[in-house]
Structures are given as C-alpha cells and as structure tokens.
Structure 1
Amino acid sequence: MNSDLPKILLAEDDTDMRRFLVKALQNAGFNVVSYDNGLSAYQRLREEPFELLLTDIVMPEMDGIELARRASELDPDIKIMFITGFAAVALNADSQAPKHAKVLSKPVHLRDLVNEVQKMLAA
C-alpha cells in the first residue's frame, strides 16, 4: 500500500457497486479502504485519518449522513462525498449532512466520480 497516495474510505452496502468503485478509484491512483456499513467505516475512521469519505446514504447500522456527521466531528478537514440514488434526501436543508459535502447521484459514471474525487482532493 503506497502511503503517499490520498486515502479514501468508502462505505457502500451494495457489494457489486463497492467492488466497482474500489477498482475505479485504485486504477485512478487512490488508496481505498472499503466497508459495507457505516458503523465499521466509522470505527476505522477513529483509528486513522482519511482525506476523503465516500459514502452511500442508505445503509444498515449507520446511514451515510450520520457517518459523515461523525467523520466531520473527528476530522473537520475530511472531504465528504455521498453517492446515492436519493440525491433529494442528501440535499434536504433539514438533513444533518455536513454543508460542504458533495452529492453524486446513482447511476454514477466512473469518469465523473474519479474527476470529482480528484477535484475535491486537489482543493
């Protein structure tokens, strides 16, 4: 594992989607750690810092918005991106989602995802 690469934590409960995203991000030169639920992802975040949290919103045990909120509490500098089929939920003004989070709607095109991730990490 190349420690110079930006580290991305991915939380996505759909196995095929998770594999697909991990492969695309690794191919683009990122270091990716993935979990199939928000709780496990959160536990990992408490152990080490990541540059970016990439998370689905609707997941068992802890949803993506709660995960993102807790991630921001642990590390105010972490960048957050939601991938979801429910973009309206994420963008709801009442939601507890961190204000600086980016939302990509499913189905997501890998090129768009990689471009957005690169933009966020370069910012």
Structure 2
Amino acid sequence: MAKPRVLVIDDDKTIADTFVMVLNVSGFEAKAAYSGEEGLQLSRDHGFEFLVSDVVMHPMNGIEAAIEIRKLLPTCRVLLISGTNDTTSLLAEATSRGFEFDILPKPVNPTALIEALKED
C-alpha cells in the first residue's frame, strides 16, 4: 500500500524539515518546500494527497499557495498552520473565493499534526 504523500511548506527550514522527518517515520511520504513558490513547483512535479503549510510567508503566503495547489490538485487536503491573528482575514478572503481550509495553531505538537492528517 502506497504511503500518503504530504507536502510541507514553511519558510523556517528547521520547522519544515522537522515536520517532514516526523511524518516520514509516521507512515507518510513527506517532502519539504521553503516557500510558497517552491511548494507550487513541487506540486506541479509531484502529486500530493496532503498539504501542510505555514500561513505567514513572503512573497507568496501559505493561503495563496494552498489555493494555487488546490487548483492543480483538487483533491489535496490542506492543513494550514499559523501563530498570528492575521490569519483570520486571510482565511475569510479564501472562503469568499470558494476555498476552505483546516487550521492548526502554532506551536504544533507533532502528534496533533499526525492526528489531523489521519482524520477523514
């Protein structure tokens, strides 16, 4: 049985690499990208079942990246991670454009991340 593929996008390389390591030892096949643009390119090159992305990144934030990736991979499940209040307005804008995403608050416990990805 193939492992579910997960793309992790975070401009903090330590966080992205840590999430990838945790996911890879937990039954997933995870890859890291360190910007929204890099994540979008990886999505063009590889199919992913899941996207885990930080929200606050520049120049392309995680919500913009998630929208573009969802356009490429309509069945990709998106889980956003944020530790700022700015996320509310960004999520509202995405919702107004027809996109709804799950969100986990920072700091994210690796167990909570794995449980969120395994939920149906």
TM-score, normalisation: structure 1: 0.86
* Residue 59 (structure 1) shift: 1.2
Structure 2 equivalent of residue 67 of structure 1? 65
Number of aligned residue pairs: 116
Structure 1 equivalent of residue 86 of structure 2? 89
SS at match of 2:94: coil
Kindly report structure 1 stretches of 4+ aligned residues shifted beyond 6 Å. none
Q: How does 1:105-120 map to 2 (within 5 A)?
A: 105-119=105-119
Residue type of the alignment partner of 1:94: A
Structure 2 equivalent of residue 5 of structure 1? 3
SS at match of 1:96: helix
Alignment root-mean-square deviation, CA: 1.6
Per-residue CA shift, 1:36-70, capped at 9, x if unaligned? 10101101111221000110011123110100111
SS at match of 1:95: helix
Per-residue CA shift, 1:71-114, capped at 9, x if unaligned? 1111221100001112x433436322521x11001111111111
Residue type of the alignment partner of 1:90: T
Distance 2:17 2:46 in 1: 22
List alignment gaps of at least 5 residues for structure 2: none
Residue type of the alignment partner of 1:105: P
Distance 2:45 2:24 in 1: 21
The answer on whether the counterparts of 1:12 and 1:35 sit within 8 Å (CA) in structure 2 is yes
The answer on whether the counterparts of 1:90 and 1:103 sit within 8 Å (CA) in structure 2 is no
TM-score, normalisation: structure 2: 0.88
Structure 2 equivalent of residue 31 of structure 1? 29
Distance 1:85 1:95 in 2: 18
Distance 2:15 2:114 in 1: 14
List alignment gaps of at least 5 residues for structure 1: none
